[in-house]
C-alpha cells in the first residue's frame, strides 16, 4: 500500500515539507446563555483548543498527551476534519485544507477511536463495512474490492472469516483491529489514533501496540497518537506534545522530554506516572490540585495556579512556546530555559489540594 | 482505635471462597477457591484482567454481590465471625465501622441528590451514635483530612459540583468516617487522570499508614499496585495463581501468567523493541479447561499441566505459586537478563 499520487507531483515529495502543518488552530464551544454565565463569573464560550501550532513530519509518530479536558481529542478531531476550527489553517502536503473537505482530502487523514464497542456499526458485517467504504471512496476498482478487503484484514492480523462476522462476535482487541483496518482502507497519509488501547486489557493492549508499530514500519505510516498513558507513548512515539488547557505547553523528541522536561507541568506529569518499583515516598503529590475548568482559564500562564515555581510575572504574562539550543524542544514557561529557576514552593497542606477559585 | 489488631496477625481470612453466577449460558464459576489472609495494617493488591474474578472476590467479602451471583462455599472470617453466615442485620453493623469500600466510579456510588457533607456524616450518626452536629463536625474534619479545600463551604455541595478526583476524595472520607479496620478498594483510580491518580494513591497510602487500616486493593494496573501495596495476589480465571511481596512478584514472577502480564505492559523506564502479548484469550468460566487453567496459553505447558489441577503452594517463606513448572519462568528471566 503506497500512498497514491505521491510520485506524480514533485511538490508533494519534497522531503523538507512537513506532512501536516497546522497553524493557530482554535476550537471553542458555546454553552448556554451569556447572561447566566456572567452571573456565575464564567465565560459561556469554552475554549477547548486555543491557538495551537502543530507540525507533523512524514513518517513520524507524534504523541499528544495531557489530562482530560486539555483539548487533545478536540484538536485531533479538528485535524481530522470532524470538528470545524474557529480559526487557523491546516496544510497537508503544503496544500491548505478547506473548511469543507473534498472526499479526496477526507481520505488522507483517518481516525481510530477509543471505544471499539461504539465506533463500529453493529448492523454491518466487517466485509459490508469495508466494501461500502471502498465503493464510496473508489479506493480500488470494483473487481478488486474483495481481494483488497482480504489484504486489509490480513494486514491487521484478522482471518478471512472475519469478513462475514458482525462486530459483536469479536473481542475488544479484535474490534480495535477492525477499526484500524477501516481507517487504513482509505490509504491515509496520517492515522490519528485517539486512546486506541485504553479500553483494552493489558495483554490485549500489547497486541494492538505491536500492530501499530508494525504498521508504521510496513506502510511508513505517519501517526498522531493521543494517549494519557506515557508508557505507551514512550514505547511508540518519536516526539511528544504536552497539552494543558487548550495549549501545547511543551514539545520535543520523546527521549529529550523524558530526560530533561523543561515545563513544570511536564515534570509533574512524568513524576506522577506509577512505576513498577515503589516511588511514592513522601506525601507531596507530583502535581497539586485539579486542572481549572476550561471555562475559567487563569490569566497569564495557565498553569500558574498549580505551579510550584509560579512568580508574579506568571500572572501577568502568558509565556510563548520558545526553544533554546535545540530547536526541536520548546516549552511555554518563563523559566523553562533560564538558569535562575525559582525554588519550588512547599504546598500549604500536605494533601496537596489547592483552593479552586470559583 | 484501641481494639486494632496486632500487626502480623491475620485480621481477615478468606478461605476457599467460591462464587457462582447463573447465566443463560450456564453457571459461571467467577471465583473458584480463593484463599487470602490480610494482616492488620497490611495492604494487599489483587491483580488480574477483566473477568478474572477480582472484583467478585471483593464484593463477596463485603456481601454486596449482584443478585444473580451466590457464594456457594467458603468462609470470610473477620475478627472471628464468618461474614458469609451472618444475617443481614448483623452484616449491616459491620459495614462501615469494620469494613468500608471505595468504588471505581464515585459518581454512581454517591447519592446525586444529597449534599456531600451529610453523606459523609451519615455513617458516624448511624454506627457511632453521634448526634447531627457532632457528625457534621466529624465530616468537615474528614474532608480536611482527605484534602478537600474549604471543607466548611464544600460540605453543602452536591457530588456533581465536584471534579472526579474530589469525588473520589469524598468516597475516601465516607469510607474512613467510621474508622474501619479494613477498606476494600475496587479500581479507585482507574477513571482518573495520572496526576490525580498520583494524589489519590499517596493520600490512601498515608491515611492507612496513619490509622493502621488494612487495604485490599483491586486493580488491573501493576505499577499502581506497586505504589500502595506490599503484598500482591495475582488472579486468573477465578483463582489466585501467585502470591508474594509486590517487589518480588513483579521482578521475579513465578507464574507464566504473571510473567506475561509484566512483559505485555509497556514500562515507562525500560523501552523494549516490542511487547510480548499473552497469546490466546482468557478461558470461559462455564467450562474452564481441565488441569491448569492457563495451560492453553502457556508456552511452558507440559503433559501434566493438562491433567493436574495445580494448587497454590509455598515455594519459599513469603512466596507461593500455582505453577507446576515455575522454575522455567525464572530460567527465562535469567537468560533474558544475560542477553541484556
Q: Annotate A179-235 with three-state secondary structure.
A: HHHHHHCCCCCEEEEECCCCCCCHHHHHHHHHHHHHHHHHHCCEEEEECCCHHHHHH
From B258, B340, B337, B319, select the one nearest B294 (Cα to Cα).
B258
Domain membership of residue B115 (yes or no) is yes
Nearest to B268 among A206, A273, A287 (CB): A273
Query: Residue A317 pLDDT more than 90?
Result: yes
Please give the pLDDT value at position B171. 94
Report pLDDT for B33.
93
Together in a domain, B191 and B132: no
Asked if residue B286 has pLDDT above 70, the reply is yes
Predicted TM-score (pTM) of the model is 0.87
User: Is there a domain that residue B2 lies in?
Assistant: no
Q: How many CB atoms lie within 10 A of CB B97?
A: 17
Q: Say what the pLDDT of residue A347 is.
A: 53
Residues A290 and A270 in one domain: yes
A38 domain residue, yes or no: yes
* Domain co-membership, B237 together with B273: yes
pLDDT above 50 for A10: no
Chain B: closest CA distance from residue A175 (Å): 14
Domain at B250, CATH number: 3.40.50.300
Rounded to the nearest angstrom, the minimum Cα separation between A186 and chain B is 27
Beta carbons of B315 and B299 less than 8 angstroms apart: no
Q: What average pLDDT does the segment B328-337 reach?
A: 86
Flag if B195 and A355 touch (Cβ within 8 Å): no
Pick from A237, A269, A289: which residue ends a domain? Answer: A237
Query: Among partner residues B198, B246, B267, which is closest to A286 by beta-carbon distance?
Result: B198
Q: Which of A67, A204, A353 sits opposite B147 (nearest CB)?
A: A353
**Interacting residues of A317 by C-beta distance below 8 A, sequence separation 6+:** A300, A301, A334
User: Is there a domain that residue A73 lies in?
Assistant: yes
Residue B244 has pLDDT above 90, yes or no: yes
Q: Which of B179, B201, B230 is the last residue of a domain?
A: B179
Q: Is B153 inside a domain boundary?
A: yes
Instruction: State the pLDDT at residue B272.
Output: 82
In a shared domain, residues B48 and B82: yes
Nearest to A209 among B163, B228, B275 (CB): B275
pLDDT band at B7; cut points 50, 70, 90? low
Q: Is residue B44 part of a domain?
A: yes
Q: Do A87 and A210 fall into the same domain?
A: yes
- B16 plus B31 within the same structural domain: yes
Q: Look at residue A8 and tell me if it is in a domain.
A: no
User: Do B252 and B312 lie in a common domain?
Assistant: yes
Interface test with A, best of B147, B226, B281, B296 (most A CBs within 10 A): B147
- pLDDT, tens digit (0-9, with 9 covering 90-100), for A191-246: 999 999 988 888 888 999 999 999 999 998 999 999 988 999 999 999 999 999 99
Confidence of residue B336 (pLDDT cuts 50, 70, 90): confident
* CA pair distance A30, A24, nearest whole angstrom: 19
Looking at the structure, tell me whether residues B146 and B202 fall in a common domain. Answer: no
Strands of the sheet with B26-39, listed across from one edge: B26-39, B10-23, B69-78, B81-82
Both A205 and A83 in one domain: the answer is: yes
Instruction: Judge if A231 and A251 occupy the same domain.
Output: no
Whether A341 is covered by a domain: the verdict is no
What gap in Å lies between CA B182 and CA B96, rounded to an integer? 9
| Residue B147 structural domain | 107-179
Q: Which of B261, B266, B297 to mutate to test the interface with A (most CBs of A within 10 A)?
A: B266
Q: Which residue has the cell 471465583?
A: B31
Number of domains in chain B: 2
Q: What percent of chain A has pLDDT over 70?
A: 91
**Cα Rg of chain A (Å, integer):** 22
> Is residue B249, in this structure, part of any structural domain at all?
yes
Contact between residue A241 and residue A75 where contact means Cβ atoms under 8 Å apart: no
Tell me A144's DSSP state. Answer: G
For the cut 90, the answer to whether the pLDDT of residue A313 exceeds it is yes
Whether residue A218 is found in the same domain as residue A254: no
For residue A6, is pLDDT > 60? Answer: no
Q: Say if CB B205 and CB B227 are below 8 A apart.
A: yes
Query: Is residue B4 a part of any domain in this protein?
Result: no
Write the pLDDT tens digit of every residue in A36-56.
Answer: 777 777 677 889 999 999 999
Task: For B59, list phi and psi in degrees, rounded to 5.
Answer: -70, -35
**Considering chain A, what is the average pLDDT of its residues?**
87
Task: Name the more confident of A347 and A57.
Answer: A57
B295 plus B211 within the same structural domain: yes
Helix (H) or strand (E) holding A250: strand A247-253
CA distances from B37 to A117, B9, B41, B46, B273 (A): 38, 9, 12, 12, 39
Residue B59 to residue B131: CA distance in whole angstroms? 31
User: Where is the domain boundary, A207, A237, A267?
Assistant: A237
Percentage of residues in chain A having pLDDT higher than 90: 62
Per the domain annotation, does B139 fall within a domain? yes
pLDDT score of B144 more than 60: yes
pLDDT recorded at residue B190: 85
Q: Count interface pairs A-B at CB distance under 8 A.
A: 143
Q: How far apart are CA A51 and CA A245, in angstroms?
A: 11
Residue A293 covered by a domain: yes
Give residue A355's pLDDT. 40
Predicted interface score ipTM higher than 0.90: no
CB distance B264–A206 less than 8 Å?
yes
Spell out which residues of chain B touch residue A201, defining contact as CB-CB under 8 Å.
49-50, 220
pLDDT at residue number A294:
86
d(CA A294, CA A260): 28
Residue B5 pLDDT: 57
Residues A214 and A279 in one domain: no
Residue B221 pLDDT exceeds 70: yes
Burial A135-162 (b: 16+ CB within 10 A, else e): eeeebbeeeebeebbbebbebbbbeeeb
* CATH number, position A66: 3.40.50.300
Q: Please say if the pLDDT value at position A248 is more than 60.
A: yes
Instruction: Tell me what pLDDT residue A352 has.
Output: 41
Task: Check residues B281 and A165 and name the one with the higher pLDDT.
Answer: A165
d(CA B273, CA B68) in angstroms, rounded, equals 45
Computed over every residue of chain B, the mean pLDDT equals 90
Query: What's the pLDDT score for residue B88?
Result: 87
Residue ending a domain, choose from B119, B152, B179: B179
Report the gap between the CA of A136 and the closest CA in chain B (Å). 35
Range(s) of the domain holding residue A45: 16-237
pLDDT in tens, A267-306: 999 999 988 877 656 778 899 888 888 888 899 999 999 9
Contact at CB, A278 and B246, closer than 8 angstroms? yes
Query: What average pLDDT does the segment A19-46 reach?
Result: 83
d(CA B48, CA B52): 6
Residues A117 and A174 in one domain: yes
Does one domain contain both A90 and A202?
A: yes
Contact B195 A275 (CB under 8 A): no
Whether B92 is in a domain gets the answer yes
What is the DSSP-derived secondary structure letter of residue A289? S
Which pLDDT does position A351 carry in this prediction? 40
For the segment B202-213, the average pLDDT, to the nearest whole number, is 89
The predicted pLDDT at position A280 comes to 54
Nearest of B323, B58, B77, B84 to residue B215 by alpha carbon = B58
A298 in contact with B, Cβ within 8 Å: no
Per-residue three-class SS string for B29-56: EEEEEEEEEEECCCEEEEECCCCCCHHH
Confidence of residue B138 (pLDDT cuts 50, 70, 90): very high
Task: Examine the domain organization and report whether B237 and B289 are in the same domain.
Answer: yes
d(C-alpha B209, C-alpha B7), whole Å: 12
Q: Is residue A353 part of a domain?
A: no
- pLDDT of A276 reads 82
The better pLDDT of the pair B296, B5 is held by B296
B146 shares its domain with B173: yes
Q: Are residues A274 and A176 in the same domain?
A: no
> A28 and A167: one domain?
yes
State the pLDDT at residue A116: 82
Q: Contact B136/B158 with Cβ under 8 angstroms?
A: no
Asked whether residue A53 falls in the same domain as residue A160, the answer is yes
Identify the helix (H) or strand (E) that includes residue A177.
Answer: helix A172-184
Separation between Cα atoms, residue B222 and residue A202, nearest integer Å: 10
Q: What is the mean pLDDT of residues A84-106?
A: 91
Residue A338 within any structural domain of the chain: no
Same domain, B200 and B319: yes
Query: Do A254 and A182 share a structural domain?
Result: no
Give the residue from A178, A211, A237 where a domain finishes: A237
Q: Which value, to the nearest 10 degrees, does the dihedral of the CA atoms of residues B299, B300, B304, B307 take?
A: -40
User: Contacts of residue B263 in chain A, CB cutoff 8 Å?
Assistant: 206
pLDDT at A302: 95
**pLDDT score of B164:** 87
Which grid cell is B263?
512483559
Distance between CA atoms of A337 and A351, rounded to whole angstroms? Answer: 30
Same structural domain, B70 and B137: no
Read off φ and ψ for residue B306, nearest 5 degrees.
-80, -15
Domain count, chain A: 2
* Residue after which a domain boundary falls, among B117, B144, B179: B179
| Chain A residues in contact with B278 (beta carbon < 8 A) | 203, 206
pLDDT in tens, A109-158: 999 998 888 889 999 999 999 999 999 998 899 899 999 999 999 999 99
Contacts of A353 in chain B (CB under 8 A): 147-149, 169, 199
B224: nearest CA partner in chain A: A274
Angstrom distance (rounded) from CA A268 to CA B194: 10
Q: Based on the domain organization, do B60 and B201 belong to the same domain? A: yes
Give the count of beta carbons closer than 10 Å to the beta carbon of residue A342: 14
Assign A7 a pLDDT band (cuts: 50, 70, 90).
very low
Amino acid at each position: 500500500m503506497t500512498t497514491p499520487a505521491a510520485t506524480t507531483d514533485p511538490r508533494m515529495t519534497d522531503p523538507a515539507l512537513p506532512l501536516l502543518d497546522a497553524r493557530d488552530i482554535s476550537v471553542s464551544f458555546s454553552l448556554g446563555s451569556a447572561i447566566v454565565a456572567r452571573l456565575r463569573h464564567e465565560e459561556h464560550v469554552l475554549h477547548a483548543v486555543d491557538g495551537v501550532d502543530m507540525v507533523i513530519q512524514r513518517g513520524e509518530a507524534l504523541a499528544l498527551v495531557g489530562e482530560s479536558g486539555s483539548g487533545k481529542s478536540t484538536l485531533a478531531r479538528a485535524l481530522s476534519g470532524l470538528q470545524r476550527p474557529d480559526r487557523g489553517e491546516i496544510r497537508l502536503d503544503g496544500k491548505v485544507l478547506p473548511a469543507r473537505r473534498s472526499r479526496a482530502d477526507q481520505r488522507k487523514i483517518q481516525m481510530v477511536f477509543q471505544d471499539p464497542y461504539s465506533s463500529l456499526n453493529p448492523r454491518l458485517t466487517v466485509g459490508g463495512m469495508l466494501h461500502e467504504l471502498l465503493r464510496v471512496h473508489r479506493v480500488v476498482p470494483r473487481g478488486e474490492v474483495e481481494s483488497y478487503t482480504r489484504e486489509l484484514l490480513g494486514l491487521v492480523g484478522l482471518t478471512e472469516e472475519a469478513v462475514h462476522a458482525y462486530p459483536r462476535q469479536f473481542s475488544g482487541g479484535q474490534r480495535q483491529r477492525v477499526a484500524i483496518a477501516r481507517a487504513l482502507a482509505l490509504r491515509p497519509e496520517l492515522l490519528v489514533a485517539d486512546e486506541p488501547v485504553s479500553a483494552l486489557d493489558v495483554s490485549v493492549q500489547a497486541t494492538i501496540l505491536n500492530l501499530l508499530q508494525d504498521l508504521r514500519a510496513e506502510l511508513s505510516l505517519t501517526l498522531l497518537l493521543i494517549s494519557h498513558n506515557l508508557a505507551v507513548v514512550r514505547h511508540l512515539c518519536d516526539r511528544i506534545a504536552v497539552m494543558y488547557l487548550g495549549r501545547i505547553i511543551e514539545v520535543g523528541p520523546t527521549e529529550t522530554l523524558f530526560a530533561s522536561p523543561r515545563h513544570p507541568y511536564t515534570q509533574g506529569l512524568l513524576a506522577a506516572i506509577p512505576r513498577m518499583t515503589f516511588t511514592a515516598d513522601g506525601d507531596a503529590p507530583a502535581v497539586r490540585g485539579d486542572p481549572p475548568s476550561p471555562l475559567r482559564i487563569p490569566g497569564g500562564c495557565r498553569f500558574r495556579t498549580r505551579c510550584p515555581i509560579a512568580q508574579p510575572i506568571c500572572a501577568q504574562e502568558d509565556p510563548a512556546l520558545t526553544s533554546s539550543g535545540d530547536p526541536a524542544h520548546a516549552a511555554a514557561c518563563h523559566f523553562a530555559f533560564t538558569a535562575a529557576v525559582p525554588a519550588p514552593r512547599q504546598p500549604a497542606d500536605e494533601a496537596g489540594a489547592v483552593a479552586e477559585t470559583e | 482505635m484501641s481494639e486494632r489488631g496486632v500487626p502480623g496477625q491475620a485480621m481477615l481470612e478468606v478461605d476457599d471462597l467460591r462464587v457462582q453466577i447463573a447465566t443463560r449460558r450456564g453457571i459461571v464459576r467467577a471465583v473458584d477457591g480463593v484463599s487470602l489472609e490480610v494482616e492488620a495494617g497490611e495492604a494487599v493488591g489483587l491483580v488480574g484482567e477483566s473477568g478474572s474474578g477480582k472484583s467478585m472476590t471483593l464484593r463477596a467479602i463485603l456481601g454486596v454481590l449482584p443478585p444473580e451471583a451466590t457464594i456457594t462455599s467458603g468462609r470470610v472470617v473477620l475478627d472471628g465471625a464468618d461474614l458469609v453466615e451472618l444475617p443481614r442485620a448483623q452484616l449491616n453493623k459491620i459495614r462501615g465501622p469494620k469494613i468500608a469500600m471505595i468504588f471505581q466510579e464515585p459518581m454512581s456510588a454517591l447519592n446525586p441528590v444529597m449534599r456531600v457533607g451529610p453523606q459523609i456524616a451519615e455513617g458516624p450518626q448511624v454506627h457511632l451514635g453521634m448526634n447531627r452536629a457532632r457528625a457534621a463536625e466529624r465530616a468537615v474534619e474528614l474532608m480536611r483530612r482527605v484534602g478537600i479545600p474549604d471543607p466548611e463551604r464544600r460540605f453543602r455541595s452536591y457530588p456533581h459540583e465536584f471534579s472526579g478526583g474530589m469525588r473520589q476524595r469524598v468516597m475516601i472520607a465516607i469510607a474512613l468516617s467510621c474508622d474501619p479496620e479494613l477498606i476494600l478498594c475496587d479500581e479507585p483510580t482507574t477513571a482518573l487522570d495520572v496526576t490525580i491518580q498520583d494524589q489519590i494513591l499517596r493520600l490512601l497510602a498515608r491515611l492507612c499508614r496513619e490509622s493502621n487500616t488494612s487495604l485490599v486493593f483491586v486493580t488491573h494496573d501493576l505499577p499502581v499496585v506497586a505504589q500502595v501495596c506490599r503484598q500482591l495476589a495475582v488472579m486468573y480465571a477465578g483463582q489466585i495463581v501467585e502470591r508474594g511481596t509486590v517487589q518480588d512478584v513483579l521482578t521475579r514472577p513465578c507464574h507464566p501468567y504473571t510473567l506475561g502480564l509484566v512483559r505485555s505492559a509497556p514500562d515507562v523506564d525500560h523501552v523494549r523493541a516490542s511487547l510480548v502479548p499473552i497469546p490466546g484469550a482468557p478461558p470461559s468460566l462455564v467450562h474452564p479447561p481441565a488441569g491448569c487453567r492457563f495451560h492453553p496459553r502457556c508456552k511452558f505447558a507440559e503433559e501434566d499441566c493438562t491433567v493436574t489441577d495445580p494448587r497454590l503452594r509455598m515455594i519459599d517463606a513469603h512466596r507461593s505459586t500455582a505453577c507446576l513448572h515455575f522454575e522455567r519462568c525464572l530460567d527465562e528471566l535469567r537468560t533474558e537478563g544475560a542477553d541484556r
